[in-house]
Amino acid sequence: MSKNVFRWCLLCLLLAAGALSSALMNWDTNPMPPIGGGGYDLSDFVYSWALVLLSGGASVISLVVGLNVDDRPASHRAFVFAAIALALLAIAATMYGDNLR
């Protein structure tokens, strides 16, 4: 994982996590109908699972990449990215864990 790939992956992960976290905030000004239709709203459930799957998948993929790369600095960057993704997973599970049921 080169420095540029690391930076782009980190930027994409943080932008996606920021967008999903923003969607999970209860702004109470959402003019769009809720996901699920009817009288119930599944948007918190869907966005929470999307955030957990995004951060969990990114951590697993970068961990596998770090284990399979022979270049030591590239492997180190992949492990750092995995640690950041795992921290994001822990934060998401702590903040939005009640939406996952």
> What is the gyration radius of the CA atoms in the chain, in angstroms?
16
CB atoms within 10 A of CB 55: 24
Domain ranges of the chain: 3-23+41-100
Instruction: List per-residue pLDDT tens for the chain, 101 residues long.
Output: 788 999 999 999 999 999 888 888 866 655 666 666 666 667 788 889 999 999 999 999 999 999 999 999 999 999 999 999 999 999 999 988 888 88
- Read off the pTM: 0.83
- Residue written as token pair 């992956």: 9
* Measured CA distances, 63 to 15, 45, 53, 82 (Å): 20, 27, 15, 6
**Distance separating the N- and C-terminal Cα atoms of the chain:** 36
> At 32, is the secondary structure helix, strand, or coil?
coil
pLDDT score at 46? 87
pLDDT score at 45? 86
